[in-house]
Each structure stands twice: as C-alpha cells, then as structure tokens.
Chain A
Amino acid sequence: MERKKVAVATPEAAKEAGLDNDQLRTMFMHMVRARVLDERMWVLNRQGRAPFVISCQGHEAAQVGMAMALRPGYDWLAPYYRDLAVTLVIGMTPKDHLLATMARADDPNSGARQMPAHYGCRRLNIITGGSPVATQVLHAAGAALAAKVRGEDAVAFTSLGEGSTSEGDFHEGLNFAAVHHLPLICVVENNGFAISVPWNKQMPLKDVAERAHGYGMPGVIVDGGDPVACYAAMKQAVERGRRGEGPTLIEAKVARLTPHSSDDDDRIYKPREELAEEKKHDCVLRFRTTLEESGVLAPGDAEEMRAEVMREIDKALQEAEAAPLPSPESAMLHVYGE
C-alpha cells in the first residue's frame, strides 16, 4: 500500500504536485469559503431558521484538494452528504446551498424536495444523491462505464464515509469497477465515526484502503488534513483513470469537528479531549500557517479572504431568504418525464 504522509504543503510538495502559488491560494480560499458557509449554516440552525444541517468541517482539505484535480463539467461526481467543499470547488455556489438550507424552490440540488446536503447539479455532472449510503458508488461506476463505452477519458469520482464502506454497494461498486477497468476514483473520508459508532466497529482494519488489495486496485492512504497531498493522490488516480488503467481507492484520514448533524450530540460518544486535539490540528488553520510560513499568503491575506467570503455569504443568504418557497401543488411535478 502506498502511504502519502508528506509534511503539510511544503513548497517542495506543492511544486512536485504541479501547484503554483496562485493555485495554493485558490485552494486555501476554497477551504475558507466552505468553512465559513458551513459555520453560517449551523448558526441558522441554532437560530431556528434552518431545520437541518450536516457538516464538512474538518474535511475541507481533503475535499478541496481532491476536487481541484477533477475537470468540472467533464468528469462525473457522485459525492456524499459531507462534500460541501467538493461541490463548491466544482462550481456550485454558497447561494445554491443556502437555498437548499432554507428549503427554497430555486434550490438547484432538488428544488427543496430533499433535505439539505443531498447534492446534485446536472450542469456540473454532480449526480443527485439520496439518503441511503453507498448507493452512489454504483452510480459513479455506471457513469464511468458510459464514459468508457463512448471512448471518452472522463473519470468518475465518488466519496463516502468509512462507516458506509460496510454497505454491500461499496463492495459491489469497487468490484465491478475493477473487473471492468473503469475510471472510478472512490474516496473514503475516514473521520473515525459513523454517527456514534467508531471505526473499529465497522472493520477490523485501521485502514480502509487495505481493502483495495482485495479488489485488485491501488489503495492509497493520504493525510486528509493536507490539501496538497490529497490533490497529488487524486491527480495520480485521475491520470490512471484517464489512461484506462482502472479504478483507485483513496482513503483520506480526516477529523469530524462537529456532531454528525444538527440533530446529533457527540458529547455522548466522543471524548472532549479527542475533539480538542483534532481542533488543534484543524486543517484550515494548518494550511494557513503553512502558506504564511512559506510566504504564499502575506500577513493579512487570510483575514481579507475570510472577510470577502463573509460578504459573499451574507449576500447569498439575503437572496436565499428572499427567494420563494415552492408552491404546494408543485409536489406533484416530475414524477415522470413529460
């Protein structure tokens, strides 16, 4: 198994991954944008303005790094409910997601038919997701199959938590993709908990990526707190897929800095010391420090970026709140095609 545990985003690692300073800044900006948006959604929930929120906090580095290695609108994505940052990198906007959070008719994910964080966007090849976990692995394999049948070099990305790897569809999807050499990249964002159940009650192995051997595909473990390492791992998997060499399983070790969702209380099952330790290594702070130390970010840049993102999100929220709710009768639309 290949292990990528490079020191966080050193200038050498970034150079090796083919990332210039502008791209590193973009990477950081995406992470900040996702974090600020996510935090705002929690505020809305606690104010009683949004019924449900589920979070990407602690996963931003992995999600941004990986998504930046994809071609938006060309490659296919079947993400899971934590992938807020993935969707933002690919081209969805804070307003798109605030419309969903506020259950507004113009929510591009589902027209507010689904709970928030059930992502989907035809324009960007983000395949609509439901709530049963791991089903999307098969959809991504199917999208990859179609690309292969047509002779295109598009790849399909799918992601899930480590808990969802216990589902049969995870196994069936990886096996199918491996047998048929499909350009599938399956990313497991391993944060150690499936709601309250720790990883060691999902699997007897510490590393999900070890399972890749059983499918006859490369398994890569990457530090999910390091966006550059995640980008590099994903880039390699994408290139392998485009060359027709088949699928890759990537496991990103991440931290879940929030409860499972706004309806969960993680104090019952997650020791506070563990959370405090994770927060010390918060990927957004970590990356900021690295970029500041290497001079990619000048003093004040990060604050300025945060302020800019705040302005964007304030405006998006105003617009989302002013947007209309769906009409009751519209519940009958789109069961079948016209």
Chain B
Amino acid sequence: MATMTYIEAIRSAMRDEMERDERVIVMGEDVGVKGGVFKATEGLQKEFGEMRVIDTPLAESAIVGVAIGAAINGLLPIAEIQFQDFIMPAVDQIVSEAAKIRYRSNNDFHVPMVVRAPFGGGVHGALYHSQSNEAMFCHVPGLKVVVPSTPADAKGLLRAAIRDPDPVLYFEHKRAYRLIKGEVPEGDEVTPIGTARVAREGADIAVFTYGLMTHFCLDAADKLAGDGFECEVVDLRTLRPLDREQIVASGRKCGKVLVVQEANLAVSVASEVAAIVAEECFEYLDAPVMRLGGPEIPGVPFSPPLEEFYMLTPAKIETALRKLAAY
C-alpha cells in the first residue's frame, strides 16, 4: 500500500494503464506540456510522447468527438474536459453519439472511451468552475457515470473505466484533489463499476452520498455516534448504473434514509435514490426519505458568504441527520 492524494491516484491510474496497454491515449486542453491545469496528467507526455498525450485545440466537442472516432478505430482514449462546467459543447457528442453508438449500430460498433472532468465547488470557482452536472448524464442509457471519493477508488474506478467497453464519464471532485489522502493498493486493483461501498456501518440512518460529500457525511456521522445514533454511510461510487441492491439493503436495514449531494436536488441522483427507496423499502421506513443538496440557484456564487451559503458542510449534514434521528 502506498499513501497518495486523490489526484496522485488518478495520475497513477492513467500512467499504469498507459504502460499496460499502448492503445490508451490522453487528450485534452493543456494535458501535455503543462500536465493539466490541476496537474492530473503531469509527466505523462514526457513519458509517453506527444502521440499518446495530445494537447488539443480548445474545443470540447472535438475533444470528445475525436476521442469517439479514435475509440471506434481501436484506441482507448481518455478525454479530459478541463472543468465539468465546460462539458456542455460536448454534450451532443456524449449523449447523441457516444451513448447511442452501440445501440444504434446493433452492437456493430462500441465506444471504449473515458471522459474525465473535475466537478464540485468550495474552491472559489463561482458559477463556471464549481458545477456538479452529473445528473444530466445519469439520465442517459448507454453512459456510465462514476465518482470516486477516495484515492483507492480514484485509481480503481479509473482503471475500470479505461478497461470498460462503453463510454464512462469519470467525475473527480476538484477540492478532493489534494485534500483527500489515503492508502492505494499496489497491485492491479480495479473497483468494479456499478458497486457502492459501505464506508461506515450502522443500523439507525442510511446515508447515501458520493464524491467529497462522502467525507463530510462520515464526519457528521461521527458526531452522531457520540449520542448513540449509528449511521450507515454508503458511498455510491457509480451513479449510473446505481447499486440498487446496496441501496435497498441499507435502506431496509436502517429504516431512515438521508441522501446527500452537492448538486441541487431537482431531478437529480438524490431523486433517483429516493425513488428506489420509496419503491423498495416503503414497508421498512420509519421516516420520510430526506434529501440534502445545493439550493435551486443556477450556480455556486463567488463571494465567500454566498459560496458558503451554497456549499454543504459536515455541520449542515449533522443538523439534517439529527432531525431525521429525532423523527
């Protein structure tokens, strides 16, 4: 086991996979000489050359669309979108093309491509460097969506995504890059796509969450433990397809459910998790399903009081948990 930051784990996954399989290439804005604006691809161009680590023109649709074509012609591209906020010009390529290529060709073609993009707020990034847009992609059959919360899963999920035969959106929380450190297995470990992880066991309240919020939920759960309430914190890890089995098991076991995400709540991952709980755990519930997320405003505002208003914190989560515990 080696201790790594979240971003080191991401880089390490790319490096290992590029070494293991020469079909793997990295492409995006600033990924080459600079090694990415966050340094996720630092050193890769030096090690693997300009043919496999490609500084592209500043054009998101091209980054993804060219990656699709390269994937169809035998490569395993990792396309980096510099911020998830800027993925919108590529949505046609992701949703109309990548997601539908296997289906529309009746299994003749498929797109083994990864689109990496940093998401999330709390870094003074304001409206366009803080978004959490994962829900819109979770709606789309043909896509897979993963969000690691730990360095071990950052590496394991990225490896799984690169080896997956279908398009995988890999969203990494930018505030976690250097904030979160952890043990990463040395070997060829893969985190299977579609499996959630029980980050903390408990029997009183099931908390479903993902990304950086997993850590905030664990902190809040510790606060409640002192008062005799044990939360089961489930890190969803894959948002499409959701690990329905784990959601149902933890929901039934605890009878109370809180879903936590940084994104606003309307038609979101939390909505889907709550719907699954309502469908499958109804007779086991002791309280209405509770959701906690960002407010219904267009983005995370810049000024510190505004940003703090938007962002969840362990304290805000603790308050919600106490309300649910008292129900």
Contact = CB atoms under 8 A, between A and B. Distances in A.
Do A and B interact with each other, yes or no? yes
Interface of A: 76, 78, 107-111, 113-114, 118, 120-122, 125, 127-128, 130-132, 135, 137-150, 156, 168-169, 172-173, 175-176, 179-180, 333-337
Contacts of B319: none
B48 to A, nearest CB: 11
B65 interface: yes
A114 B110 contact: no
Given A120-B108, A141-B65, A335 B59 contact: no
Interface string B33-76: 00000000000000000011010110101101111111111110
17 contacts: A78-B69, A110-B104, A113-B104, A114-B104, A125-B73, A127-B109, A128-B101, A128-B108, A135-B65, A142-B66, A143-B70, A145-B75, A149-B52, A175-B57, A179-B57, A180-B54, A335-B142
Contacts, number: 142
B96 A130 contact: yes
Interface residues of B, number: 43
B65 A169 contact: yes
Interchain residue pairs A-B with the least CB separation, the first 4: A142-B69, A138-B65, A111-B106, A146-B73
B70 A176 contact: no
Contact of A336 (B25, B68, B106, B166): B166
Contact of B97 (A122, A130, A144, A337): A130
Most buried by B among A110, A137, A142, A148: A142
Contacts of B59: 172, 175-176
Interface in B142-166: 142, 144, 165-166
A304 B17 CA distance: 59
A127 B71 CA distance: 11
B34 to A, nearest CB: 17
A319 B173 CA distance: 55
A120 B105 contact: yes
A63 B102 CA distance: 27
Nearest to A178: B57
A120 to B, nearest CB: 5
